[in-house]
């Protein structure tokens, strides 16, 4: 069966050119970058070039780029490393309620050590309100960590405004840009970003490599102690093929960034319009305007998400859900709850994320399949039966009545 992969926010396939660039560093150019003979120097040079490429992508200098094992390590390092190095200045941090668990759980770990963390709320579209950040800043606030774009609902935050407010309050600004890096234009100096996390496998690079941008002068405590790699900031022999692949992926993305962004956005808008026009009891989650070009996230009433995913998987369609059942916990996604979705419709959510290979035909097939799947599941649903008999009200209808724009 043909697989239709619409889960690019989870991970992406490695582009052939990326793989090709990586391959020599597994075999003939296998040297340890710390070795002084030429085999080592070739590997070292490859890292230097990669660092420069990635720095250019975000308008930074090469000495501000540190390679990590991925986005999670970059987030942990930025948050814990900064807090530990700067605790003398204050022990208060600010983040948001819709961050990735890499940020949320790093903050929770700091709370257990005696740091205080404020979790900013978001509005019904998943957007942060700059005035909330302003109000949360305290004299002892050392770090503000707010994600560039959300992994579930695709909401893009006003990062420049938020960073400016953080700086006015004397705090350093970190952003988890894992979903936005190479998808949205990011220039750290224009936006005022001091720390930025990114990952290779979200941009058609390999898994197991990421980076942390650290503005010159920002002090972090090391997470990993050992050798002198990454200028003594992160010990462990460098993942040379991964780093080379990461840079190659970023360079390739830059080559047609605007074109591909707009192409995916057209497909996204087509999908959103079709769902709103054709599928009853549906609600778009997240802002339509301030949204990643590849993200579609809907809640469908009277059904549960896992059943929807399994039926779509049976048709070869790979998508994901904010349903509890897919995560093994009983609570639905913290992001969907943070935008105010009641549990019953948060359970019935679907995320579809478009990628470079996605065609209009694939999107249409997915939406057609979704319609069939929802009809099947609603026929089976006691909630739908009660709704049809007038015993329960539609939650989504209430959203529409309250003036929420993107519902059906």
Q: Does 313 bind another protein (CB under 8 A)?
A: yes
Q: Does 398 bind another protein (CB under 8 A)?
A: no
The CA distances from residue 370 to 208, 286, 305, 339, in Å, are 33, 20, 12, 24
Among candidate residues 137, 143, 160, 139, the one with its CA nearest the CA of residue 220: 143
| Residue 398, H or E segment | helix 395-401
Token code pair at residue 312 = 């779509």
Q: Does 343 bind another protein (CB under 8 A)?
A: yes
Q: Does 392 bind another protein (CB under 8 A)?
A: yes
Backbone angles phi, psi at 349, to 5 degrees: -105, 160
Among candidate residues 334, 316, 362, 309, the one with its CA nearest the CA of residue 99: 334
Among candidate residues 292, 211, 205, the one with its CA nearest the CA of residue 242: 205
Q: Which is nearer to another protein, 19 or 383 (CB)?
A: 383
Among 4, 332, 336, 349, binds another protein (CB under 8 A): 332
Q: Does 328 bind another protein (CB under 8 A)?
A: yes
Backbone angles phi, psi at 191, to 5 degrees: -90, -15
Q: How many beta carbons lie within 10 A of that of residue 269, not counting itself?
A: 14
Among 303, 335, 338, 396, binds another protein (CB under 8 A): 303
Counted residue by residue, the chain has a size of 408
Token code pair at residue 80 = 């814990």
Helices assigned H by DSSP within 137-256: 159-168, 188-191, 229-232, 240-255
Token code pair at residue 317 = 């369609």
The interface region with another protein, picked from 22-30, 83-91, 253-261, 323-331 by CB under 8 A, is 323-331
Q: Does 344 bind another protein (CB under 8 A)?
A: yes
Among 7, 124, 260, 306, binds another protein (CB under 8 A): 306
Closest separation in Å from C-beta 320 to another protein: 12
Q: Does 362 bind another protein (CB under 8 A)?
A: no
* 173 within 8 A of 144, measured Cβ to Cβ: yes
The interface region with another protein, picked from 95-103, 147-155, 214-222, 309-317 by CB under 8 A, is 309-317
Q: Does 3 bind another protein (CB under 8 A)?
A: no
Q: Does 273 bind another protein (CB under 8 A)?
A: no
Q: Does 311 bind another protein (CB under 8 A)?
A: yes
Closest separation in Å from C-beta 279 to another protein: 17
Q: Which is nearer to another protein, 310 or 360 (CB)?
A: 310
Judge whether 325 counts as a catalytic residue.
yes
Token code pair at residue 272 = 């959103």
Which of 107, 182, 318, 325 is labelled catalytic? 325
The interface region with another protein, picked from 39-47, 116-124, 358-366, 376-384 by CB under 8 A, is 376-384
Closest separation in Å from C-beta 330 to another protein: 6
Place of tokens 């990114």: 198
Closest separation in Å from C-beta 338 to another protein: 17
Q: Which is nearer to another protein, 326 or 408 (CB)?
A: 326
CA distance 300 to 232: 50
Among 241, 307, 322, 355, binds another protein (CB under 8 A): 307
Q: Which is nearer to another protein, 133 or 317 (CB)?
A: 317
* 356 within 8 A of 182, measured Cβ to Cβ: no
The interface region with another protein, picked from 46-54, 217-225, 272-280, 343-351 by CB under 8 A, is 343-351
Give the bridge partners for 145, in sequence order.
174
* 338 within 8 A of 332, measured Cβ to Cβ: no
The interface region with another protein, picked from 32-40, 252-260, 304-312, 357-365 by CB under 8 A, is 304-312
* 241 within 8 A of 22, measured Cβ to Cβ: yes
Token code pair at residue 281 = 């009891």
Which residues belong to the active site?
325
Q: Which residues bind another protein (CB under 8 A)?
A: 302-307, 309-311, 313-314, 323-326, 328, 330, 332, 342-344, 347, 379-386, 391-392
């Amino acid at each position: 069966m043909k697989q239709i992969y619409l889960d690019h926010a989870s991970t992406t396939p490695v582009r052939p050119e990326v793989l090709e660039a990586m391959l020599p560093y597994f075999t003939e150019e296998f040297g340890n970058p710390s070795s002084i003979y030429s085999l080592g120097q070739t590997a070292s040079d490859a890292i230097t070039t990669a660092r420069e490429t990635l720095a250019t992508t975000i308008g930074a200098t090469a000495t501000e780029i540190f390679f990590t094992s991925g986005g999670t390590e970059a987030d942990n390092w930025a948050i814990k490393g900064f807090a530990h190095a700067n605790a003398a200045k204050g022990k208060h941090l600010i983040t948001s309620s819709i961050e990735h668990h890499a940020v949320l759980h790093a903050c929770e770990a700091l709370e257990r050590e005696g740091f205080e963390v404020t979790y900013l709320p978001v509005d019904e579209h998943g957007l942060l309100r700059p005035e909330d950040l302003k109000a949360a800043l305290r004299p002892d606030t050392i770090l503000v960590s707010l994600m560039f774009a959300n992994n579930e609902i695709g909401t893009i935050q006003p990062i420049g405004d938020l960073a400016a407010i953080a700086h006015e309050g004397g705090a350093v600004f970190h952003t988890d840009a894992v979903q936005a890096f190479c998808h949205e234009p990011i220039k750290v100096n224009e936006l005022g970003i001091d720390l930025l996390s990114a990952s290779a496998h979200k941009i058609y690079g390999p898994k197991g490599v990421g980076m942390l941008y650290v503005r010159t002068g920002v002090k972090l405590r090391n997470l990993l102690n050992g050798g002198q790699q990454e200028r003594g900031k992160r010990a462990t022999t460098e993942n040379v093929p991964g780093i080379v692949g990461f840079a190659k992926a970023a360079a390739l993305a830059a080559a047609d960034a605007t074109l591909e962004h707009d192409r995916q956005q057209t497909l996204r808008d087509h999908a959103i319009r079709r769902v709103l026009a054709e599928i009853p009891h549906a609600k778009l989650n997240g802002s339509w305007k301030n949204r990643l070009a590849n993200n579609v996230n809907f809640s469908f009433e009277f059904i549960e998400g896992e059943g929807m995913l399994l039926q779509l998987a049976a048709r070869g369609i790979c998508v994901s859900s904010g349903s509890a059942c897919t995560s093994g916990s009983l609570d639905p996604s913290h992001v969907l709850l943070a935008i105010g979705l009641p549990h019953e419709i948060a359970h019935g959510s679907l995320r579809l994320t478009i990628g470079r290979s996605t065609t209009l035909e694939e999107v249409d097939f997915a939406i057609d399949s979704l319609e069939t799947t929802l009809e099947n599941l609603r026929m089976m649903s006691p909630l739908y039966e009660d709704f049809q008999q007038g015993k329960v009200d539609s939650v989504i209808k209430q959203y529409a009545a309250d003036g929420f724009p993107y519902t059906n």
